[in-house]
Amino acid sequence: MTKHRAILAILLLSGGAAAHAQMAPREVPAHTVPVPDTVSPDSQKLIAAPYNPVWTVAPTTAEAWHQLVDPMAAEAAKALPALREKLRVGSEPVTIDGVKAFMITPIDLPPANRNRLLVHVHGGAYVLFPGESGTREAIALAGIGRFRVLSIDYRMPPDFPYPAAMDDAMTVWRAALKMAKPSQLGIFGTSTGGGMTLAMVLRAKQEGMKLPGAIAPGTPWSDMTKTGDSYYSNAMLDNVLVAYEGFLDASAKVYANGHDLKDPQLSPIYGDLHGFPPTILTSGTRDLFLSNTVRVHRKLRQAGVEAVLQVYEGMSHAAYNRDPFAPENREVFEEIARFFDKHLAK
Amino acid sequence: MTKHRAILAILLLSGGAAAHAQMAPREVPAHTVPVPDTVSPDSQKLIAAPYNPVWTVAPTTAEAWHQLVDPMAAEAAKALPALREKLRVGSEPVTIDGVKAFMITPIDLPPANRNRLLVHVHGGAYVLFPGESGTREAIALAGIGRFRVLSIDYRMPPDFPYPAAMDDAMTVWRAALKMAKPSQLGIFGTSTGGGMTLAMVLRAKQEGMKLPGAIAPGTPWSDMTKTGDSYYSNAMLDNVLVAYEGFLDASAKVYANGHDLKDPQLSPIYGDLHGFPPTILTSGTRDLFLSNTVRVHRKLRQAGVEAVLQVYEGMSHAAYNRDPFAPENREVFEEIARFFDKHLAK
């Protein structure tokens, strides 16, 4: 609680960025935001949940990171067998040119999806959800959209900072290009996974590799610095990320390991998005990364890319991954599945 | 200032809706939101502007309404000749089966747009911008998109409450159907004009009239009751509408004149949106009507309608109409123009 208050104090005091001292900031008074009655009871429960306690945790040693990450991964993994059974998908650990991954396959794979493959990059601020625990979202889209999904178990800090995660992702992408035609391949992921999805396309462009037929970065961590309006406007409203200060800030630093956070490989909003494949972006009105999402959408549109945006009522950051069976969350996956179905070759 | 404080007190105290007493609301502490450095200097100026002072004004007599509305209309009209000159459009007052309107025509009308016509429904909470003062947005889209625009000067309260405005709009729509093929016609408008755009399509469906080829409801007032998350979450952040209590609430009541605010003709979110034409929706991350916009987007998508959403960084309600030359605002009109160009027959 003391730590929570200290971080809150920093948050409140650091509001007025020095660069804009000449422009008066908006002083928003304390206010009450009720649980909206415009969403389903299942989504109301997610919205009414207290702040994710992780947001105040900012480990400073490798040991402290593991003490946070390992029990969370074990807990998350426990829920997966039931999820796979309910969504009728199987999961198989595989190794792709030395990189660990999981192949998630629907029991009833529709003929239209037999030659298609989605590459999945999990979220968790570059530090959370190692091993099978990162496959939750892959299971949801494989089950709801009935796609085959190859979920990358990329290396992470504190043991492996940038660029290990991106190196692993590109190894899998190179291998995926041998498993299907580029037009039959998609890439998707949420939060860090959304940022990495964008960074993978940037790096594929740079390295002259083929691009996927479509991508689905969900509320992507497109700017790892505290840049973008909703880092401020949705702070303490979003109950998943809550605020930049604390866990997010610490995760950015341990991942970057001294590297420039504004390098497009870390913050893809600063990359050249021309030539990107059709893109579907997902966010929520309470999302701390709403600006991270709409800034990418605008930049893609400016680059002439077919890019669609879905913003869900009252939804905090990536809350659709908390319960894929809430009607609005199922809709998130259905929209993404429809988008891939529309844009990927058969 | 006293009135401002009184309304603020009501706003802060009324946060926790009784219906959700069982679900803990989010208590958002006071916080500072700087002017973002992710938008152009022109947009920064709009974002840094103080609250629109009108938000606290809640007239209770017809005379008081006119004292508010008439000088604002005169002031707004003054800026129009220069705007028309800069955007190279002409404006001609016309009467369409007894309804006043303005035909806005680009000096250089591209051949592709010769047979196309956009019907415009202006905004202003159903009370503001009578006469020529309501044509500002029509001039912007006519100039930037080089479309012919027929802007409806519909009757308004306090003299003419609901359904006068909708009756006038439908009279013009009936006439427009004789001026071009339905597939060559679009309807657009912002805020109240966005709500009326949706209500016009609902009423056209009910009356068996032909529908337009595409529509562009900008941040539509789709729910005239205080329902939707951003009425709470973006209150005191949006510097155009600021909050529901005060002007908006008073406008809703004087327009409805005792009619049910949840009637789909007043709050089109409650209507059946099946069969709607392709729709482009526009909002901003600070918009008090962000939920009014995304709720319509979701409902259209659920009805199988092709509907695209554009959400602009840091933008308050309808701020694109404040300065159509700010780069982001010009982009709003360019996106809408491109959408009409894509979907309307030539």
Give A36→chain B minimum CA distance, Å. Answer: 6
The per-residue pLDDT for A277 is 98
Which 219-258 residues of chain A touch chain B by CB within 8 A? 227-230, 232-237, 239
State the residue range of the domain holding A268.
72-343
Is the confidence at residue A37, as pLDDT, over 60? Answer: yes
> What confidence category does residue A11 fall into, taking pLDDT thresholds of 50, 70 and 90?
very low
pLDDT on residue A19: 45
Q: Do B16 and A32 touch (CB under 8 A)?
A: yes
The model's pTM is 0.94
Residues A310, B290: C-beta atoms closer than 8 Å: no
d(C-alpha B167, C-alpha B154), whole Å: 8
Structure tokens at B64: 């008081």
Contact A37/B290, CB-based, under 8 Å?
no
DSSP lists the bridge partners of residue A149 as: A104, A118
* Other residues' Cβ atoms within 10 Å of the Cβ of residue A159: 11
* B302-306 long-range contacts, CB within 8 A, separation 24+: B302/A331, B303/B272, B303/B273, B303/B274, B303/B275, B303/B276, B304/B274, B305/B273, B305/B274, B305/B275, B305/B276, B305/B277, B305/B278, B305/B279, B306/B278, B306/B279
Per-residue confidence at A4, pLDDT binned at 50, 70, 90?
very low
More confident of the two residues A9 and B190: B190
CB-closest option in B45, B285, B335 to A291 = B285
Contact A309 B311 (CB under 8 A): yes
In 3D space, the residue among A301, A286, A287 whose CA is nearest the CA of residue A123 turns out to be A287
Residue B205: which CATH number? 3.40.50.1820
pLDDT tens digits, A20-30: 446 899 999 99
- Residue carrying structure tokens 């000067």: B153
Specify if A272 maps to a domain. Answer: yes
State yes or no: pLDDT of A12 exceeds 90: no
Tell me how far apart the alpha carbons of residues B143 and B328 are, in angstroms, rounded to a whole number. 16
Rounded to whole angstroms, how far apart are CA atoms A184 and A177?
A: 9
**Rounded (10°) angle between helices B41-48 and B327-343:** 100
Closest CA to A46 of A239, A189, A190, A230: A239
- Measured distance CA(B131)–CA(B135) in Å, rounded: 8
Chain A residue with Cα closest to B25 = A34
CB nearest A314 (choices: B17, B229, B331) = B229
Please, which residues bridge with residue B309 across strands?
Answer: B281
Residue type, B83: L
Sort out which chain A residues have CB atoms less than 8 A from B24's CB and list them: 35, 48, 50
Structure token digits, residue B114: 């010769």
Distance of alpha carbon B323 from alpha carbon B316, whole angstroms: 13
- CA-based nearest residue to A26, from A239, A235, A222, A315: A235
Q: Do A302 and B331 touch (CB under 8 A)?
A: yes
Q: Which residues contact B64 (CB under 8 A, 6 or more apart)?
A: none
Sign of CA dihedral B135, B250, B272, B307: positive
Q: Which residue bears the tokens 């899998």?
A: A172
A20 touches chain B (CB under 8 A): yes
A67 in contact with B, Cβ within 8 Å: no
Residues B202/B272, Cβ–Cβ less than 8 Å: yes
Mean pLDDT confidence for A36-53: 97
Rounded to two decimals, the ipTM of the complex is 0.93
Q: How confident is the model at residue A261 (pLDDT cuts 50, 70, 90)?
A: very high
Contacts of A232 in chain B (CB under 8 A): 31-34, 36
Q: Indicate whether A47 belongs to any domain.
A: no
Nearest 5°: phi and psi at B152?
Answer: -85, 125
Report the number of distinct structural domains present in chain A: 1
Q: Tokens for B227?
A: 């329902």
Output the pLDDT for position B17. Answer: 43
In a domain, A17, yes or no: no
Q: A189-208 pLDDT, tens per residue?
A: 999 999 999 999 999 999 99
CB contact under 8 A, A285 and B309: no
Q: What pLDDT sits at residue B324?
A: 96
Mind telling me how many Å the CA of B274 is from chain A's nearest CA? Answer: 17
Average of per-residue pLDDT values in chain A: 94
Return phi, psi of residue B280, to 5°.
-115, 130
pLDDT of the residue at B4? 47
Tell me if B26 and A285 make a contact (CB, 8 A cut-off): no
Q: How many CB atoms lie within 10 A of CB A306?
A: 14
Chain A contact present for B21, CB below 8 A: no
Whether B217 and B273 have beta carbons less than 8 Å apart is answered as no
Q: Chain A 304-323, CB below 8 Å of chain B: which residues?
A: 308-314
A86: left (phi over 0), alpha (psi -120 to 50) or beta: alpha
DSSP type of residue B25 = P
B18 assigned to some structural domain: no
Residue B145: partners with Cβ closer than 8 Å, 6 or more residues away: B333, B334, B336, B337, B340, B341
Confirm whether B160 is domain-assigned. Answer: yes
Q: Is residue B2 part of a domain?
A: no
pLDDT at residue A257 tops 60: yes
pLDDT at residue number B3: 45
What's chain B's Rg over C-alpha atoms?
A: 19
Among A227, A213, A240, A335, residue whose Cα is nearest residue A282:
A335
**Interface mutation target, options A40, A294, A310, A312, chain B, most CBs of B under 10 Å:** A294
Dihedral sign for Cα atoms in the order A120, A124, A128, A133 = negative
Buried b (16+ CB within 10 A) or exposed e, B281-299: bbbbbbbbbbbbbbbbbbb
Give per-residue burial for B139-159: e unless 16+ CB within 10 Å, then b. bbbbbbbbbbbbbbbbbbbbe
Type and span of the H or E element at B182: none
Structure letter (DSSP) for residue B210: P
CA distance B281 to chain A (A): 11
DSSP codes, A177-230 = HHHS-GGGEEEEEETHHHHHHHHHHHHHHHTTPPPPSEEEEES-----SS-STH
**Residue A326: HSE in the Cβ half-sphere, 13 Å Cα cutoff:** 19
Look at residue B7 in the predicted model and tell me its pLDDT: 45
Q: Which pLDDT tens digit goes with each residue over A162-178?
A: 999 999 999 999 999 99
Count of CB atoms situated within 10 Å of the CB of A330: 17
Q: Using a CB-CB distance cutoff of 8 angstroms, which residues of chain B are in contact with residue A44? A: 20, 23
The answer to whether the Cβ–Cβ distance between B31 and A232 falls below 8 Å is yes
Inform me whether the C-beta atom of residue A80 falls under 8 Å from chain B C-beta atoms: no
* Count of beta carbons in the 10 Å neighbourhood of residue B63: 9
Chunk chain B into consecutive blocks of 10 residues (it has 346) and report each block's average pLDDT, rounded to whole numbers. Answer: 43 41 88 98 97 96 97 97 98 98 97 98 98 98 98 98 98 98 98 98 98 98 98 98 97 98 98 98 98 98 98 98 97 98 98
* pLDDT of A152 over the 90 cut: yes
Contact between chains at B20 and A28 (C-beta distance less than 8 A): no
Contacts of A23 in chain B (CB under 8 A): 34-35, 44-45, 47-48
**Which helix (H) or strand (E) element contains residue A295?**
helix A290-302
Q: How far is B232 from chain A (nearest CA, A)?
A: 5
User: Hey, is B218 helix, strand or coil?
Assistant: strand
A32·B25 Cβ contact <8 A: yes
- Does any domain span residue B24? no
Q: Do B237 and A233 touch (CB under 8 A)?
A: yes
Candidates A234, A302, A203, A251; CA nearest to A64 is A251
- Please report the pLDDT score of residue B200 as a whole number: 99
Query: What percentage of chain A has pLDDT greater than the value 90?
Result: 93
Ordered DSSP codes for A6-73: HHHHHHHHT-S-GGGTTSPPEEEPPEEEPPPSSS-HHHHHHHHSPPPGGGG----SHHHHHHHHHHHH
Determine, yes or no, domain membership for B11: no
